[in-house]
Structure 1
Amino acid sequence: MNRLTTCAAAAAVALGSLSIAAPTHAAPAKAQTYTVTAKANLSEAVAKEDVVKVRGRVTPKAAGEKVVLQQRVGNKKKWTVTGNAKVKRNGTYLLTDKPSTPGPREYRVLKPGSRGIAKGFSKPVEVQVYRWEKLVSRTAGPRVNLDSTGVLIGAEYFGQSLATSVAGTPSSVEYTLGRKCTEMRATYALTDSSATGSSGAINVTGDGKVLASHALSVGTVVADEVLDLTDVFRLKLDLTTSETPAAVAAVATPEVLCTR
Protein backbone atom coordinates (compact mmCIF):
# COMPACT_ATOMS: atom_id res chain seq x y z
CA MET A 1 0.00 0.00 0.00
CA ASN A 2 2.79 2.38 0.93
CA ARG A 3 4.51 1.54 -2.31
CA LEU A 4 1.43 2.51 -4.33
CA THR A 5 1.12 5.78 -2.43
CA THR A 6 4.77 6.55 -3.05
CA CYS A 7 4.43 5.92 -6.78
CA ALA A 8 1.34 8.16 -7.02
CA ALA A 9 3.11 10.97 -5.22
CA ALA A 10 6.11 10.70 -7.51
CA ALA A 11 3.87 10.87 -10.57
CA ALA A 12 2.13 13.98 -9.23
CA VAL A 13 5.47 15.68 -8.66
CA ALA A 14 6.57 14.82 -12.20
CA LEU A 15 3.36 16.23 -13.70
CA GLY A 16 3.77 19.39 -11.61
CA SER A 17 7.28 19.82 -12.89
CA LEU A 18 6.10 19.45 -16.47
CA SER A 19 3.40 22.06 -15.87
CA ILE A 20 5.87 24.56 -14.44
CA ALA A 21 8.34 24.00 -17.24
CA ALA A 22 5.75 24.59 -20.02
CA PRO A 23 6.90 27.51 -22.22
CA THR A 24 4.95 30.83 -22.18
CA HIS A 25 4.38 32.99 -25.31
CA ALA A 26 4.95 36.81 -24.95
CA ALA A 27 2.57 39.26 -26.73
CA PRO A 28 4.01 40.53 -30.05
CA ALA A 29 5.81 43.88 -29.78
CA LYS A 30 3.87 46.89 -31.12
CA ALA A 31 5.20 48.16 -34.48
CA GLN A 32 7.11 51.46 -34.24
CA THR A 33 5.66 54.48 -36.07
CA TYR A 34 7.39 57.66 -37.23
CA THR A 35 6.51 60.74 -35.18
CA VAL A 36 6.30 63.95 -37.22
CA THR A 37 5.92 67.53 -35.95
CA ALA A 38 5.01 70.50 -38.19
CA LYS A 39 4.73 74.28 -37.83
CA ALA A 40 4.08 76.97 -40.48
CA ASN A 41 5.77 80.38 -40.60
CA LEU A 42 2.46 82.09 -41.46
CA SER A 43 -1.13 81.79 -40.29
CA GLU A 44 -2.27 84.15 -43.10
CA ALA A 45 -0.77 84.40 -46.59
CA VAL A 46 -1.35 86.30 -49.84
CA ALA A 47 -1.77 84.12 -52.92
CA LYS A 48 1.02 84.37 -55.52
CA GLU A 49 3.05 86.59 -53.15
CA ASP A 50 3.83 84.78 -49.88
CA VAL A 51 5.69 81.51 -49.39
CA VAL A 52 4.41 79.18 -46.67
CA LYS A 53 7.31 77.41 -44.95
CA VAL A 54 6.51 74.25 -43.01
CA ARG A 55 9.22 73.10 -40.59
CA GLY A 56 9.36 70.18 -38.22
CA ARG A 57 11.16 67.10 -36.95
CA VAL A 58 10.98 63.35 -37.66
CA THR A 59 11.57 60.77 -34.93
CA PRO A 60 13.47 58.45 -35.39
CA LYS A 61 15.65 60.86 -37.38
CA ALA A 62 15.59 59.08 -40.79
CA ALA A 63 18.37 61.28 -42.19
CA GLY A 64 18.36 61.52 -45.99
CA GLU A 65 14.89 60.01 -46.33
CA LYS A 66 11.88 61.77 -47.87
CA VAL A 67 9.01 63.63 -46.22
CA VAL A 68 5.95 64.67 -48.23
CA LEU A 69 3.90 67.88 -47.95
CA GLN A 70 0.15 67.44 -48.34
CA GLN A 71 -2.63 70.03 -48.29
CA ARG A 72 -6.37 70.37 -48.66
CA VAL A 73 -8.33 73.55 -49.41
CA GLY A 74 -11.68 74.62 -47.98
CA ASN A 75 -14.08 71.77 -47.26
CA LYS A 76 -12.34 69.21 -49.46
CA LYS A 77 -11.72 65.84 -47.84
CA LYS A 78 -8.92 64.69 -50.14
CA TRP A 79 -5.29 65.54 -49.34
CA THR A 80 -3.14 66.57 -52.31
CA VAL A 81 0.64 66.15 -52.51
CA THR A 82 2.32 69.51 -53.20
CA GLY A 83 5.99 68.94 -52.38
CA ASN A 84 8.69 66.84 -50.76
CA ALA A 85 12.07 67.24 -49.13
CA LYS A 86 14.80 65.19 -47.44
CA VAL A 87 15.19 64.86 -43.70
CA LYS A 88 18.39 66.47 -42.41
CA ARG A 89 20.98 64.69 -40.27
CA ASN A 90 19.46 66.09 -37.08
CA GLY A 91 15.98 64.84 -38.04
CA THR A 92 14.55 68.22 -39.09
CA TYR A 93 13.08 69.19 -42.47
CA LEU A 94 11.85 72.24 -44.41
CA LEU A 95 9.00 72.19 -46.95
CA THR A 96 7.64 75.20 -48.88
CA ASP A 97 4.51 76.09 -50.80
CA LYS A 98 3.46 79.24 -52.69
CA PRO A 99 -0.35 79.15 -52.78
CA SER A 100 -2.02 80.51 -55.92
CA THR A 101 -5.68 80.40 -54.89
CA PRO A 102 -7.53 81.96 -51.94
CA GLY A 103 -9.29 80.13 -49.15
CA PRO A 104 -8.65 78.35 -45.86
CA ARG A 105 -6.34 75.36 -46.14
CA GLU A 106 -4.57 72.77 -44.04
CA TYR A 107 -1.05 71.42 -44.43
CA ARG A 108 0.29 68.16 -43.04
CA VAL A 109 3.55 66.23 -43.45
CA LEU A 110 3.87 62.51 -44.17
CA LYS A 111 6.95 60.42 -43.42
CA PRO A 112 6.53 57.22 -45.46
CA GLY A 113 7.29 53.93 -43.73
CA SER A 114 10.84 52.53 -43.97
CA ARG A 115 13.29 50.22 -42.21
CA GLY A 116 10.44 48.37 -40.52
CA ILE A 117 8.98 51.60 -39.08
CA ALA A 118 5.41 52.50 -40.05
CA LYS A 119 4.52 55.79 -41.76
CA GLY A 120 3.61 58.79 -39.63
CA PHE A 121 1.68 62.05 -40.14
CA SER A 122 1.97 65.42 -38.48
CA LYS A 123 -1.05 67.18 -37.06
CA PRO A 124 -2.70 69.53 -39.63
CA VAL A 125 -1.54 73.17 -39.69
CA GLU A 126 -4.13 75.80 -40.71
CA VAL A 127 -3.32 78.75 -43.01
CA GLN A 128 -5.80 81.32 -44.34
CA VAL A 129 -4.93 82.45 -47.88
CA TYR A 130 -6.08 85.77 -49.36
CA ARG A 131 -5.83 87.10 -52.92
CA TRP A 132 -5.90 90.58 -54.47
CA GLU A 133 -8.80 90.90 -56.91
CA LYS A 134 -10.29 93.74 -58.94
CA LEU A 135 -13.20 95.35 -57.09
CA VAL A 136 -15.11 95.96 -60.33
CA SER A 137 -15.01 92.23 -61.03
CA ARG A 138 -17.15 91.56 -57.97
CA THR A 139 -20.93 91.68 -58.16
CA ALA A 140 -22.05 95.23 -57.34
CA GLY A 141 -25.07 96.19 -55.27
CA PRO A 142 -26.87 99.50 -55.83
CA ARG A 143 -24.99 101.71 -58.32
CA VAL A 144 -25.83 105.29 -59.30
CA ASN A 145 -24.16 107.43 -61.99
CA LEU A 146 -20.98 105.39 -61.93
CA ASP A 147 -19.37 103.46 -64.79
CA SER A 148 -16.83 100.62 -64.82
CA THR A 149 -14.24 101.84 -67.31
CA GLY A 150 -10.62 102.76 -67.95
CA VAL A 151 -9.47 106.29 -67.06
CA LEU A 152 -6.53 108.63 -67.67
CA ILE A 153 -4.97 110.33 -64.66
CA GLY A 154 -1.84 112.42 -65.15
CA ALA A 155 -1.53 110.92 -68.66
CA GLU A 156 -1.36 107.42 -67.10
CA TYR A 157 -3.96 104.80 -67.98
CA PHE A 158 -5.79 102.92 -65.21
CA GLY A 159 -7.92 100.00 -66.34
CA GLN A 160 -10.88 98.45 -64.51
CA SER A 161 -11.74 101.65 -62.68
CA LEU A 162 -14.90 103.43 -61.51
CA ALA A 163 -15.70 106.91 -62.89
CA THR A 164 -18.61 109.32 -62.55
CA SER A 165 -20.76 109.64 -65.69
CA VAL A 166 -22.72 112.91 -65.20
CA ALA A 167 -20.97 115.96 -63.73
CA GLY A 168 -22.68 117.56 -60.74
CA THR A 169 -24.72 114.45 -59.95
CA PRO A 170 -23.96 112.40 -56.81
CA SER A 171 -22.54 108.97 -57.61
CA SER A 172 -22.26 105.82 -55.53
CA VAL A 173 -21.83 102.06 -55.58
CA GLU A 174 -22.00 99.34 -52.92
CA TYR A 175 -20.30 95.94 -52.67
CA THR A 176 -21.05 93.14 -50.25
CA LEU A 177 -17.76 91.78 -48.93
CA GLY A 178 -19.26 89.50 -46.31
CA ARG A 179 -16.39 90.07 -43.86
CA LYS A 180 -14.12 88.05 -46.14
CA CYS A 181 -11.77 90.89 -47.15
CA THR A 182 -9.07 92.57 -45.10
CA GLU A 183 -7.74 95.43 -47.26
CA MET A 184 -8.55 97.68 -50.21
CA ARG A 185 -6.09 99.63 -52.32
CA ALA A 186 -6.94 102.29 -54.91
CA THR A 187 -6.00 105.66 -56.39
CA TYR A 188 -8.44 108.61 -56.17
CA ALA A 189 -8.36 111.61 -58.52
CA LEU A 190 -10.17 113.72 -61.09
CA THR A 191 -9.54 112.33 -64.56
CA ASP A 192 -7.66 114.17 -67.30
CA SER A 193 -11.03 114.92 -68.96
CA SER A 194 -12.00 117.21 -66.05
CA ALA A 195 -12.09 120.96 -66.74
CA THR A 196 -9.52 123.30 -65.18
CA GLY A 197 -10.87 124.64 -61.90
CA SER A 198 -13.28 121.73 -61.37
CA SER A 199 -13.50 119.83 -58.11
CA GLY A 200 -14.86 116.71 -56.49
CA ALA A 201 -14.75 114.45 -53.45
CA ILE A 202 -14.61 110.77 -52.56
CA ASN A 203 -15.86 109.04 -49.41
CA VAL A 204 -15.34 105.36 -48.60
CA THR A 205 -17.43 103.78 -45.85
CA GLY A 206 -17.62 100.30 -44.36
CA ASP A 207 -20.94 99.45 -42.71
CA GLY A 208 -21.54 103.20 -42.33
CA LYS A 209 -18.13 103.96 -40.80
CA VAL A 210 -15.93 106.42 -42.73
CA LEU A 211 -12.74 104.70 -43.88
CA ALA A 212 -11.43 107.48 -46.17
CA SER A 213 -12.51 110.95 -47.26
CA HIS A 214 -10.68 113.13 -49.82
CA ALA A 215 -11.32 116.45 -51.55
CA LEU A 216 -10.23 116.34 -55.19
CA SER A 217 -9.08 118.91 -57.73
CA VAL A 218 -7.28 118.78 -61.05
CA GLY A 219 -3.70 117.66 -60.38
CA THR A 220 -4.49 116.22 -56.93
CA VAL A 221 -3.88 112.46 -56.86
CA VAL A 222 -4.30 110.23 -53.81
CA ALA A 223 -2.15 107.35 -55.02
CA ASP A 224 -2.26 103.71 -53.89
CA GLU A 225 -4.05 104.28 -50.61
CA VAL A 226 -4.56 101.10 -48.54
CA LEU A 227 -7.62 100.83 -46.29
CA ASP A 228 -8.34 98.32 -43.53
CA LEU A 229 -11.49 96.32 -44.34
CA THR A 230 -11.31 93.90 -41.43
CA ASP A 231 -14.82 92.73 -40.49
CA VAL A 232 -16.52 94.96 -43.12
CA PHE A 233 -19.71 93.42 -44.48
CA ARG A 234 -20.85 96.16 -46.91
CA LEU A 235 -18.50 98.61 -48.64
CA LYS A 236 -19.81 101.86 -50.14
CA LEU A 237 -18.12 104.44 -52.38
CA ASP A 238 -19.65 107.94 -52.69
CA LEU A 239 -18.32 110.47 -55.24
CA THR A 240 -19.36 114.06 -55.95
CA THR A 241 -18.22 116.42 -58.71
CA SER A 242 -18.73 120.03 -59.70
CA GLU A 243 -21.07 120.62 -62.63
CA THR A 244 -19.46 123.86 -63.80
CA PRO A 245 -16.57 123.54 -64.47
CA ALA A 246 -17.39 119.90 -65.19
CA ALA A 247 -15.40 117.20 -63.42
CA VAL A 248 -15.06 113.44 -63.66
CA ALA A 249 -13.99 111.73 -60.44
CA ALA A 250 -12.47 108.26 -60.44
CA VAL A 251 -11.58 105.41 -58.16
CA ALA A 252 -8.70 104.05 -60.22
CA THR A 253 -8.09 100.29 -60.38
CA PRO A 254 -9.50 99.46 -56.93
CA GLU A 255 -8.50 96.05 -55.54
CA VAL A 256 -9.59 94.13 -52.46
CA LEU A 257 -7.68 91.45 -50.56
CA CYS A 258 -10.14 88.63 -49.92
CA THR A 259 -10.46 84.97 -49.12
CA ARG A 260 -13.28 82.71 -50.26
Structure 2
Amino acid sequence: MRKLFIVLVAAAAIVLPMQGAEAATAYTVTASVSTSSVDLGKSFVLSGTVSPSAKGKTVKIQRQYAGGSWTTIVTKTLSSTSKYSVKITPSKGGPTKYRAVKAASSTRAQGISSSRTVKVYRWLYLTGLPGTYTPPTIYRGYMYVKGTQFAHSLSIKQGEYADWNLAGKGCNRLKVYIGIDDDSVSGTTGTSYITNGGLDVLNAENTLEKNQSARYVLVSLATTTIRFLPGLNSSDLSTAWMGYGSPQVHCAA
Protein backbone atom coordinates (compact mmCIF):
# COMPACT_ATOMS: atom_id res chain seq x y z
CA MET A 1 0.00 0.00 0.00
CA ARG A 2 2.80 2.36 0.98
CA LYS A 3 4.70 1.59 -2.24
CA LEU A 4 1.59 2.19 -4.34
CA PHE A 5 1.10 5.59 -2.70
CA ILE A 6 4.70 6.59 -3.47
CA VAL A 7 4.32 5.57 -7.11
CA LEU A 8 1.09 7.57 -7.49
CA VAL A 9 2.65 10.66 -5.94
CA ALA A 10 5.64 10.37 -8.27
CA ALA A 11 3.34 10.02 -11.29
CA ALA A 12 1.42 13.11 -10.23
CA ALA A 13 4.66 15.03 -9.92
CA ILE A 14 5.44 14.19 -13.54
CA VAL A 15 1.98 14.88 -14.95
CA LEU A 16 1.27 18.14 -13.16
CA PRO A 17 4.20 20.13 -14.58
CA MET A 18 3.29 18.90 -18.06
CA GLN A 19 -0.28 20.02 -17.59
CA GLY A 20 0.97 23.40 -16.38
CA ALA A 21 3.16 23.83 -19.47
CA GLU A 22 0.28 22.93 -21.76
CA ALA A 23 -1.94 25.46 -20.03
CA ALA A 24 0.66 28.26 -20.02
CA THR A 25 -0.62 31.57 -21.39
CA ALA A 26 1.04 32.65 -24.62
CA TYR A 27 2.95 35.87 -25.09
CA THR A 28 0.95 38.65 -26.74
CA VAL A 29 2.83 39.98 -29.77
CA THR A 30 1.70 42.98 -31.83
CA ALA A 31 2.89 44.00 -35.31
CA SER A 32 2.30 47.00 -37.54
CA VAL A 33 3.86 48.27 -40.76
CA SER A 34 4.71 51.84 -41.72
CA THR A 35 3.07 51.40 -45.15
CA SER A 36 0.88 48.85 -46.90
CA SER A 37 2.69 49.23 -50.23
CA VAL A 38 6.26 49.92 -51.29
CA ASP A 39 8.34 49.93 -54.47
CA LEU A 40 10.89 47.19 -54.95
CA GLY A 41 14.22 48.33 -53.50
CA LYS A 42 12.56 50.76 -51.06
CA SER A 43 12.15 50.10 -47.33
CA PHE A 44 9.42 50.02 -44.70
CA VAL A 45 9.37 49.44 -40.94
CA LEU A 46 7.76 46.55 -39.06
CA SER A 47 7.37 47.25 -35.34
CA GLY A 48 5.49 46.06 -32.28
CA THR A 49 5.59 44.95 -28.67
CA VAL A 50 5.69 41.78 -26.60
CA SER A 51 3.75 41.43 -23.36
CA PRO A 52 4.23 40.69 -20.61
CA SER A 53 7.63 42.33 -20.77
CA ALA A 54 10.42 40.22 -22.27
CA LYS A 55 13.07 42.94 -22.42
CA GLY A 56 16.44 41.70 -23.57
CA LYS A 57 14.91 38.61 -25.17
CA THR A 58 14.49 38.18 -28.93
CA VAL A 59 11.76 37.93 -31.51
CA LYS A 60 12.00 36.35 -34.95
CA ILE A 61 10.77 38.43 -37.88
CA GLN A 62 9.27 36.17 -40.52
CA ARG A 63 8.22 36.61 -44.15
CA GLN A 64 5.83 34.64 -46.35
CA TYR A 65 5.56 34.98 -50.13
CA ALA A 66 2.25 34.09 -51.78
CA GLY A 67 1.87 30.31 -51.68
CA GLY A 68 5.09 29.84 -49.72
CA SER A 69 6.06 28.99 -46.14
CA TRP A 70 7.10 31.28 -43.31
CA THR A 71 10.82 32.10 -43.31
CA THR A 72 12.78 33.90 -40.59
CA ILE A 73 14.61 36.88 -42.11
CA VAL A 74 16.03 38.54 -39.00
CA THR A 75 16.14 38.22 -35.20
CA LYS A 76 15.67 41.36 -33.11
CA THR A 77 16.40 42.00 -29.42
CA LEU A 78 13.53 43.54 -27.47
CA SER A 79 14.15 46.97 -25.93
CA SER A 80 13.86 47.88 -22.26
CA THR A 81 10.17 48.52 -22.92
CA SER A 82 9.75 45.14 -24.66
CA LYS A 83 9.44 46.73 -28.13
CA TYR A 84 11.04 45.83 -31.46
CA SER A 85 11.48 47.70 -34.74
CA VAL A 86 13.08 46.49 -37.94
CA LYS A 87 13.69 48.14 -41.33
CA ILE A 88 12.88 45.78 -44.20
CA THR A 89 13.88 46.18 -47.85
CA PRO A 90 11.95 43.66 -50.00
CA SER A 91 13.90 41.91 -52.75
CA LYS A 92 10.93 40.39 -54.58
CA GLY A 93 7.76 41.87 -56.00
CA GLY A 94 4.22 40.85 -55.07
CA PRO A 95 2.04 40.78 -51.93
CA THR A 96 4.17 39.60 -49.00
CA LYS A 97 3.14 38.80 -45.41
CA TYR A 98 5.24 39.61 -42.32
CA ARG A 99 4.90 38.65 -38.65
CA ALA A 100 6.86 38.49 -35.38
CA VAL A 101 7.31 35.37 -33.23
CA LYS A 102 8.33 35.30 -29.54
CA ALA A 103 9.60 31.88 -28.47
CA ALA A 104 8.17 30.14 -25.42
CA SER A 105 9.78 30.62 -22.03
CA SER A 106 9.57 28.61 -18.79
CA THR A 107 6.37 30.45 -17.86
CA ARG A 108 4.84 31.50 -21.22
CA ALA A 109 3.89 29.73 -24.43
CA GLN A 110 5.05 30.96 -27.82
CA GLY A 111 3.40 34.13 -29.07
CA ILE A 112 2.79 34.96 -32.74
CA SER A 113 1.60 38.32 -34.01
CA SER A 114 -1.10 38.77 -36.63
CA SER A 115 0.37 38.88 -40.14
CA ARG A 116 0.71 42.17 -41.99
CA THR A 117 0.60 42.27 -45.81
CA VAL A 118 2.74 44.67 -47.82
CA LYS A 119 2.25 44.98 -51.58
CA VAL A 120 5.66 45.22 -53.23
CA TYR A 121 5.45 47.00 -56.59
CA ARG A 122 7.94 46.89 -59.45
CA TRP A 123 8.10 48.21 -63.03
CA LEU A 124 7.69 45.52 -65.71
CA TYR A 125 8.29 46.00 -69.43
CA LEU A 126 5.10 45.30 -71.35
CA THR A 127 7.04 43.67 -74.17
CA GLY A 128 8.16 41.00 -71.69
CA LEU A 129 4.56 40.12 -70.83
CA PRO A 130 2.12 38.06 -72.92
CA GLY A 131 0.26 40.32 -75.34
CA THR A 132 -2.09 40.09 -78.32
CA TYR A 133 -1.03 41.89 -81.48
CA THR A 134 -3.27 42.61 -84.48
CA PRO A 135 -1.79 41.72 -86.87
CA PRO A 136 0.97 39.74 -85.14
CA THR A 137 3.65 41.45 -87.26
CA ILE A 138 3.83 44.60 -85.09
CA TYR A 139 7.47 45.58 -84.69
CA ARG A 140 8.96 44.93 -81.24
CA GLY A 141 12.47 45.90 -80.16
CA TYR A 142 14.52 49.08 -80.42
CA MET A 143 13.06 52.17 -82.04
CA TYR A 144 14.04 55.82 -82.54
CA VAL A 145 12.00 58.98 -82.15
CA LYS A 146 13.84 62.15 -83.26
CA GLY A 147 17.12 60.26 -82.94
CA THR A 148 16.51 59.05 -79.38
CA GLN A 149 16.70 55.30 -78.93
CA PHE A 150 14.13 53.40 -76.86
CA ALA A 151 14.52 49.73 -75.94
CA HIS A 152 11.70 47.21 -75.28
CA SER A 153 9.46 49.18 -77.61
CA LEU A 154 6.62 48.85 -80.11
CA SER A 155 5.99 50.42 -83.51
CA ILE A 156 2.41 50.13 -84.77
CA LYS A 157 0.90 51.05 -88.13
CA GLN A 158 -2.57 52.38 -88.85
CA GLY A 159 -5.19 49.64 -88.47
CA GLU A 160 -3.06 47.69 -86.02
CA TYR A 161 -3.19 47.61 -82.23
CA ALA A 162 -1.62 45.80 -79.28
CA ASP A 163 -3.49 44.48 -76.22
CA TRP A 164 -2.42 43.28 -72.79
CA ASN A 165 -4.48 41.50 -70.17
CA LEU A 166 -2.94 42.31 -66.76
CA ALA A 167 -5.43 40.39 -64.62
CA GLY A 168 -3.90 39.15 -61.40
CA LYS A 169 -0.84 41.39 -61.58
CA GLY A 170 -2.20 44.25 -59.45
CA CYS A 171 -1.00 46.98 -61.84
CA ASN A 172 -1.82 50.60 -61.00
CA ARG A 173 0.26 52.71 -63.42
CA LEU A 174 1.58 52.71 -66.98
CA LYS A 175 4.47 54.81 -68.28
CA VAL A 176 5.56 55.13 -71.91
CA TYR A 177 7.20 57.48 -74.42
CA ILE A 178 5.02 58.18 -77.47
CA GLY A 179 6.01 59.65 -80.83
CA ILE A 180 6.21 59.11 -84.58
CA ASP A 181 8.85 56.47 -85.32
CA ASP A 182 11.85 57.81 -87.29
CA ASP A 183 11.29 55.00 -89.81
CA SER A 184 8.04 56.67 -90.85
CA VAL A 185 7.71 58.45 -94.19
CA SER A 186 8.38 62.22 -94.11
CA GLY A 187 5.39 64.34 -93.08
CA THR A 188 3.71 61.64 -91.00
CA THR A 189 1.44 62.98 -88.24
CA GLY A 190 -1.08 61.34 -85.95
CA THR A 191 -2.82 60.76 -82.65
CA SER A 192 -2.10 57.99 -80.15
CA TYR A 193 -4.79 56.37 -78.04
CA ILE A 194 -4.39 54.20 -74.96
CA THR A 195 -7.68 52.53 -74.08
CA ASN A 196 -8.97 49.88 -71.71
CA GLY A 197 -9.49 47.53 -74.64
CA GLY A 198 -12.97 48.88 -75.31
CA LEU A 199 -14.17 52.40 -76.02
CA ASP A 200 -12.87 54.08 -72.85
CA VAL A 201 -9.83 56.25 -73.61
CA LEU A 202 -7.23 56.34 -70.85
CA ASN A 203 -4.92 58.73 -72.72
CA ALA A 204 -4.88 60.59 -76.05
CA GLU A 205 -1.84 62.37 -77.46
CA ASN A 206 -2.78 64.66 -80.34
CA THR A 207 -0.79 66.56 -83.01
CA LEU A 208 2.15 64.18 -83.01
CA GLU A 209 4.60 64.77 -85.86
CA LYS A 210 7.70 63.13 -87.27
CA ASN A 211 10.92 64.74 -85.97
CA GLN A 212 9.09 65.79 -82.81
CA SER A 213 10.50 64.52 -79.49
CA ALA A 214 8.65 61.64 -77.86
CA ARG A 215 6.17 62.60 -75.15
CA TYR A 216 6.42 61.01 -71.72
CA VAL A 217 3.04 59.70 -70.58
CA LEU A 218 2.09 58.39 -67.12
CA VAL A 219 -1.36 56.82 -66.86
CA SER A 220 -3.18 55.60 -63.74
CA LEU A 221 -4.71 52.17 -64.26
CA ALA A 222 -8.02 50.97 -62.87
CA THR A 223 -8.40 48.30 -65.51
CA THR A 224 -6.75 44.97 -66.27
CA THR A 225 -6.81 45.43 -70.06
CA ILE A 226 -4.90 48.08 -72.00
CA ARG A 227 -4.65 48.74 -75.74
CA PHE A 228 -2.25 50.87 -77.81
CA LEU A 229 -4.15 52.19 -80.82
CA PRO A 230 -2.60 54.64 -83.33
CA GLY A 231 -4.40 57.09 -85.58
CA LEU A 232 -1.93 58.01 -88.31
CA ASN A 233 -2.02 60.48 -91.19
CA SER A 234 0.37 59.94 -94.07
CA SER A 235 0.57 59.83 -97.84
CA ASP A 236 1.85 56.27 -97.44
CA LEU A 237 0.34 54.46 -94.44
CA SER A 238 2.44 51.37 -95.17
CA THR A 239 5.53 53.32 -94.00
CA ALA A 240 3.94 55.32 -91.16
CA TRP A 241 4.60 54.08 -87.62
CA MET A 242 3.41 55.19 -84.19
CA GLY A 243 6.15 54.50 -81.66
CA TYR A 244 5.58 53.41 -78.05
CA GLY A 245 8.94 53.64 -76.33
CA SER A 246 9.82 51.40 -73.38
CA PRO A 247 6.24 50.91 -72.09
CA GLN A 248 6.20 49.67 -68.48
CA VAL A 249 3.52 48.84 -65.93
CA HIS A 250 3.78 49.27 -62.17
CA CYS A 251 2.57 45.99 -60.66
CA ALA A 252 2.46 44.14 -57.34
CA ALA A 253 3.33 40.80 -58.92
Q: Normalised by the shorter chain, which TM-score bucket?
A: 0.7 to 0.9
**Aligned pair partner of 2:118 in 122, 127, 140:** 127
Larger Rg: 1
Which secondary structure does the structure 2 equivalent of 1:197 belong to?
coil
Counterpart in the other structure of 1:4: none
After TM superposition, give the deviation of residue 120 of structure 1 in Å.
Answer: 1.2
Q: In 2, distance between residues paired with 1:247 and 1:142?
A: 17
From the superposition, tell whether residues 181 and 57 of structure 1 become closer, same or farther in structure 2 (CA, over 3 Å): same
Equivalent-residue separation in structure 2 for 1:192 and 1:234 (angstroms): 28
For structure 2, the 5+ residue unaligned runs are 1-15
Q: Map 1:177-196 to 2 at 5 A.
A: 177-178=166-167, 180-196=170-186
> How big is the shift at 1:32?
4.3
Contact kept, 8 Å, 1:187 with 1:221, in 2: the verdict is no
> So what's the TM-score if we normalise by structure 1?
0.78
| Alpha-carbon distance in structure 2 between the residues aligned to 1:83 and 1:204 | 44
State the match for 2:153 in structure 1. 161
- Compute the RMSD of aligned alpha carbons: 2.5
Identity %: 24
C-alpha separation in 2, matches of 1:64 and 1:143: 64
* Aligned match of 1:38: 31
> Measured at CA, do residues 109 and 224 of structure 1 come closer, stay the same or move farther in structure 2, by a change above 3 Å?
farther
Aligned to 2:247: 254
Q: CA deviation at 1:109?
A: 0.4
Q: Deviations over 1:122-164 (max 9, x none)?
A: 0111222332110011111242352111112343221000013
TM-score under structure 2 length normalisation: 0.80
Whole-angstrom distance in 1 between the partners of 2:146 and 2:107: 70
1:141–1:175 CA contact under 8 A, matched in 2:
yes
Moved more, 155-164 or 29-38: 29-38
Q: How far does the alpha carbon of each residue in 1:83-135 deviate from its partner, in whole angstroms, 9 at most, with x for none? A: 22221222211123222323222211011234643321101112223321100
Which residue number corresponds to residue 9 of structure 2?
A: none
Between the two proteins, the alignment pairs up a number of residues equal to: 229
Instruction: Give, in whole Å, the separation in 2 of the partners of 1:115 and 1:88.
Output: 20
Superposed structure 1 runs of 4+ greater than 6 Å apart: none
Q: d(CA) in 2 for partners of 1:152 and 1:195? A: 14
Taking the aligned partners of 2:172 and 2:143, their CA distance within structure 1 comes to 26
Q: Find the aligned partners of 1:52 and 1:105 in 2 and give their Cα distance.
A: 12
Q: Match for 2:220 among 223, 228, 242?
A: 228
Residue from 74, 78, 86 that aligns with 1:87: 78
Residue 139 (structure 2) pairs with residue 147 (structure 1):
yes
1:171 aligned residue (156, 160, 171): 160
- 1:114 and 1:221 map into 2 onto residues whose CA distance is 67
Report if aligned partners of 1:82, 1:97 keep a CA contact under 8 Å in 2.
Answer: no
Change over 3 Å in CA distance of 1:154–1:91 after alignment to 2: farther
| 3-state SS of 1:136 partner | helix
Following the alignment from structure 1 to structure 2, what is the Cα–Cα distance between the partners of residues 95 and 248? 51
Amino acid paired to 1:177: L
Structure 2 residue 49 is the aligned partner of structure 1 residue 61: no
Q: Which residue of 1 aligns with 2:65?
A: 73
Structure 1 contact 37–123 (Cα < 8 Å) conserved: yes
Q: Distance in 2 between matches of 1:60 and 1:203?
A: 60
